[in-house]
Amino acid sequence: MFPLGRTRPPSLAPCASLGRPTPHAAAWWHAPGTLVVATPELARRVLAESPQDFCVPEVFSSGTTATVINDPRSVRTERNSAAKNAMSGPWVDQRTPQLVEFIDRYLDEHPIPRRWAVLPTLYDLTSALATFLCLGLACPMWQEIAASLRQATPGAVATDRAGLRQGRRLREFDVQAQRVTDALHQLLQRRRTQPNSTKGSVLDLLAHGGEPDGQPSGWSDEARVETLWFMLYTAQTAPAMATSWLLYLLAHHPEVQQGLRHEAHQPASQTAASHLIRTREAGSESLRLYPPTWLLGRTVRQDTKIDGHLVQPGDQVRVAVQLIQRDERFFPDPHRFHPARWEPGGPAGQAPRGAYLPFGLGTHFCRGTAWVHALTGLTVAALLRRYEFTTPRRPQVRPRLAGHLEPTHLTLLCSRTS
């Protein structure tokens, strides 16, 4: 069992901007054409059980132009298969020693200051690790791409340059994003001319997918680059958010932090992420309280009713992930950080399907789940082997509800462990 800790983080009201009319309202109109749902039953229906009624618009912006990928179903299946193969649990476990070495070397070369602004450091680290996942460290230009990817993260730009106007931040994002896009086109063409001896990265899987002669079967290079871009971005952003929030909670719960530090020093924890059992339980609880993807969306295909509300084609349905995950009917004392919920046989295992949605549900369930859990666990373990974290006297952290749930102004006090 985890100790509960003597301190609590400040109360951060989840999703207050969604305007829930009553504490247990199942669905309500947030704006004309936008319906919000906040129960596991409705989440299951929208995300997993009624594909004939709801769809996911496949839109991703790289550079200055938004690209809509309308690939045939077979191509989407191939893309999902590439993501699943490259981010699977066995793939991550197989590369854990490399990941541990990479993280340790980074932390040795970039010591944490006494007063640590958490998010910029984690963006820097996860951008390099995301490049390792998607392109492989043997790939030329990976360091340049990682640097551009780091600067192409809107949240990171806002954190580092808080005084800049929004327009200037977006222009810098566009410049860096275009550099990444151009580099990925070059790498895709170069990798396609090389023998496919191994499939160790997403780039390998995409470059050599298709017909036996190596040419893509109905899938354009633009779509493949968009896929690489999207996976680079999400493989960087979600672990950075998840790790930041977990460190924030551990700083408020020193007993839990000490328990995870003891686990991090066990030799097995440095050979496979799956051995970080307590760390994963704490990470699951952190994802429940502060899911990086706090809102999931679907577009309505045809007239249908949701909890008595008629939605029509083109309307948007938003699944309020954070509200569902903080519902006391499924998670008693829902605003409390309590990792013991996730022990085998614990109360979290009794929650209905759809009550825990940090990675979505159904066909579009996030393929990077194992990657996020592993990278969060390995990074936190490496940090806890070196440092102890506490909170400043007047913490200023606030959740910013943008594309991800970002802990703005998160600063921790750090001291070297003995």
- More confident call, 124 vs 220: 124
Q: How confident is the model at residue 67 (pLDDT cuts 50, 70, 90)?
A: very low
CA distances from 168 to 154, 175, 306 (A): 11, 11, 41
**Domain locations along the chain:** 16-416
- Residue 309 phi, psi dihedral angles, 5° rounding: -95, 125
Q: Give the lowest-confidence range in 19-28, 61-70, 107-116, 384-393.
A: 61-70
334 or 155, which is more confident?
A: 334
What is the predicted pLDDT for the residue at 13? 53
pLDDT, tens digit (0-9, with 9 covering 90-100), for 136-185 = 766 666 677 777 766 665 444 333 334 444 556 567 667 777 887 888 88
Give the lowest-confidence range in 53-57, 325-329, 410-414.
53-57
What's residue 137's pLDDT?
61
Strand-pairing partners, residue 115, are: 413
**Residue 255 in this model has a pLDDT that exceeds 70:** yes
Average pLDDT over residues 388-411: 84
Is pLDDT of 244 > 80?
Answer: yes
Top pLDDT among 15 and 361 is at: 361
Distance from C-alpha of 228 to C-alpha of 343, rounded to nearest angstrom: 35
Q: What is the predicted pLDDT for the residue at 223? A: 77
Q: What is the mean pLDDT of the chain?
A: 80
E strands present in 2-160: 27-31, 34-37, 54-55, 59-62, 65-68, 115-117
Confidence class for position 224, pLDDT limits 50, 70, 90:
confident
pLDDT value at residue 93: 78
Percent of the chain with pLDDT strictly greater than 90: 42
The residue that leads in pLDDT, 197 or 85, is: 85
- The string of pLDDT tens digits covering residues 343-399 is 999 999 999 999 999 999 988 888 788 889 999 999 999 999 999 999 998 877 878
Residue 326's pLDDT band, with cuts at 50, 70 and 90, is very high
pLDDT confidence bin for 213, thresholds 50/70/90: very low
The 10s digit of each residue's pLDDT in 256-306 is 999 999 999 988 776 677 789 999 999 999 999 999 988 899 999 999 999
Confidence bin at 64 (pLDDT 50/70/90): very low
Superfamily of domain 16-416: Cytochrome P450 (1.10.630.10)
